[in-house]
Structure 1
Amino acid sequence: MKLLFASDSFKGSLRSDRTIELLGRAAREVFGDCETDGVPVADGGEGTTEAVVKARNGEIIPVTVHGPLLETEHAFYGRLSETEAILEMAAASGLPMVPEEKRNPLYTSTYGTGELLKAALDAGYTDISIAIGGSATNDGGMGFASALGVRFYDAAGELLSGKGEELERVAHIDSSGLDPAVRRARFTVMCDVRNPLCGPDGATYTFGRQKGGTPEILERLERGMQNYRDVLIREFGVNPDEYPGTGAAGGLGAALQVFLHAEMKSGIETVLDLIGFDARLAGVDLVITGEGRTDWQSCFGKVMQGVGDRAKRRNVPVAALCGSLGREYERIYAHGIGSILTTVDGPMPLSAALENADELYYKGAVRMFRMIALGRQMRA
C-alpha cells in the first residue's frame, strides 16, 4: 500500500511538515512495512513559501525589509530554481507583525512586500509567484509600488510614502521609474479573493475591520480608495473595480494588476502546481489530508478542497484528519474527501488541544489507520 500525506498546517500548533512525520510514524505502527510519501502544502497564506520550498528542495533567502509600520524586519523569499522564486506578503506586511494595540490600517504599508519582490528581481528571477494572504494593510498597494520605483504625488507635488491615510491625497502617479526588471518577469499571484477595490464588497469594508479599522477609519479609507481608483482610471485607463481580486490584501491586488500585469490564480491550485502534486499521485492508494478546523469555508480555495479535487479526478481516495469540525463541514465531501476524523479524543479547551497537539494528532492518526486497516480486512 502506498500512502501520500498532504495536510495543511494546524494554525498555532502543527506545521505541515510535522504532520507528515507523525502520519508516517502512525502508519508504520499500524501497517508495518508500507510505502509513504509526504509533501508540505499551503493555500497561499502564511507558510506558503516555506511549504513550497521544502517540497521543491529549494532555498530560503533572507531579506531585510520595512514591516507594516515601516519598522525594520527580517523577511525572506524562496528560491525554487534558477529562474523561479516564491514570496508571501505575510513575511513582510502580515497582520501578526503588528501588535493588536497598534493595528490601524491608516498607518500600515505594503512597502516591505515591494522590497521583498525587488530583492528577488535584483537576484535575476523571472518567474515569480506571490502569495498575498494575511495582510495588515489597506494602502491600495501604494507602498508596494513605491518600493519598485512608482511615485505617488499629492496635488501640491509632494511625494507620498504609501500608507493608507495617503490614499485620499493621491493626485498623480508617475510609473516611469518602475524597475525595468518588472517587464522581463512573469508574476503569478496566489489569490482566492474576488472582491473589487471599492464599494461595500471592496477591500476596505470587507477586510478593514479585522486590521483595526473603526467605522470612522473605514469611511475615511473608502473615500481615499475611491480617489485612488479615480486616479488610476484617469492616468492608466484601468478601472480596478471591473476586475475581480483587485481588493485583495487591502488593494494590493490592484497594484499587482495595474503595474505588474500579474496573473491572479487560486492559491491552492498554484501551490499544487508548483509542488508537482499530480505527479505525486501516481501509484498512490490513499491520500491523507487535513487542517486545523474544517467548516463550510474549507470548500473555497483551502488545502483540503484542492487536494481532494485533484485526487478525485484521478480516482484516488482521500481521508482527512482535522483538529475540529465546524458548521457545514460535510460540504467538503463533495470535493473527494471520503471520511473525516478529528484529533481531539474528548471535550477539552482549545488551549489544551494546542498544548498537546503532537500527541493528539499522533493518536488520531493511529485511530484513523486502524479503521482503514479494519476496512481492508472486511474487503478481504
Structure 2
Amino acid sequence: MEADGFRTLDEKSLVEYIKATPALSSKLGNQLDGLQIKEVGDGNLNFVYIVVGSTGSLVIKQAIPYIRCIGETWPMTKERAYFEARALKEHGHLCPDHVPEVYHFDRTMSLIGMRYLEPPHIILRKGLIAGVEYPLLAENMSDYMAKTLFFTSLLYLSTTEHKRAVSEYCGNVEICRLTEQVVFSDPYKVSQYNHCTSPYLDHDAEAVRNDNDLKLEVAELKAMFCERAQALIHGDLHTGSVMVTSDSTQVIDPEFAFYGPMGFDIGAFLGNLFLSFFSQDGHADQGNDRRAYKKWILTTIEETWNLFEKKFTTLWNEHKDGPGEAYLPDIYNNPKLQLLVQKKYMENLLYDSLGFGAAKMIRRIVGVAHVEDFESIQDAGKRADCERKALNFAKMLMKERRGFKTINEVVATIQ
C-alpha cells in the first residue's frame, strides 16, 4: 500500500473491496458468493475487471501510477481516474443513451465502478476488423458528439461557467502532456518508443521525420490542442473507446478528458474509421474481398460528419437566445448573419477535425501505440502496404485539409 492509501487490487482483494462498498455490492444484489471476475484491461494504461454475480454485474476500472503497456519506467498520475469519472458523469448527463452509468468512484483508490456493457456488446475496433456493419453507428456517434461538444462550449455556457469548468479540468495536465508527446511530437523525431513495420516502413517513417511542410502543420495542431479550450472533449475517442451492438453505441474510457478543441474528438473518431478502411485489404480473403464493407465504412464517415453538422447547428439554433456568450443575440441579430457565422464556424471545425484525424492516423503507424486493425494482419508485407496507403492519405489530409469544403470531397479522393 502506498502512503496515500492507494493499493492495486487483484481478483481476491477486489471481492473484499466490493463487500465493503454498498454502492457496488447492492448492484450485485448483495449476493457475493461465487462472483466471476475477469481482468480484461487490454489497453495501454489501466486494470479493468468484469464482475458477474448471480443477480447482477458491473465493471471495475482502476488506474495505476504508470503506463501499463510500458511499465514503471514511464510514471503516470492516478488522478486521471478522477477526470474520467467526472467526464463520464457529465457526458452521461448530456447524452445518457450513449454513456454507461457510473455507480461509484473512489478517488483514493483511483477506482470507478460502472455499468457492465454485457454481450453482445463488443469493442467497435474488433467489430470493424471482423467486418460487421453497425447501421446506427453514424446516427449514435453524431448524437454523442453534437450534444457533449455543444453543451460544454461557449455556444451554450456563460463565460463564467465555461472558465470554471476549464479550470477544473486543467488538473488533467499530465495526461494531456502524454497526448502532446505521442500524437504531436514523437512521430516527427527519433524517439525510443517509436516503432513501425520494419524494414518495410523504415523509409516512410524517416520521410515523416524529414517533412518540413508536415511539421509546420502539426505544430499548428499542437498549439491548438494546448491552447484552445473549446469544449469538454473525450480526449481519446478512437474505435477502441466505443462499444457497440447492432442497436447500441456506448462511449467509454474518457480519462483523457479536458477542455480542448472539438475537432480533436471528431477527428479521432473519423481518423480511426479511415484506419479501419485502409486495413480492410489485409483482412480480405477468397470468401470476402471486403469491397462492400470498405464502401460501408466510407459511407459511415460521411454520414457521421454530415449528421453531426446538422445536429450541432440545430442545437445552436434552438439555444441561440440562451446563456451562451460566444455569439450574443443582440449582435448576431438577423438570420443572414447567423447563417454566415455558422457556416464559418463549421467550416473551421471541419478543417480542425481533418487535421487532428490525420495526426491520429500518423501516430498509429509510426509512433508508440499502434492499432489492432493493422497489427492483426499477420503478413508483414501486406500489413505495411495497408499502413503505407493510410500514412500517405493522412499526410495529404493534414497538408491539404483547407482545400476540402465537405467530408464527401475528402472521401472522394480515395474511392
The TM-score bracket by the shorter chain reads under 0.3
Q: Greater strand percent: which structure?
A: 1
Q: Greater helix percent: which structure?
A: 2
TM-score (norm 2): 0.26
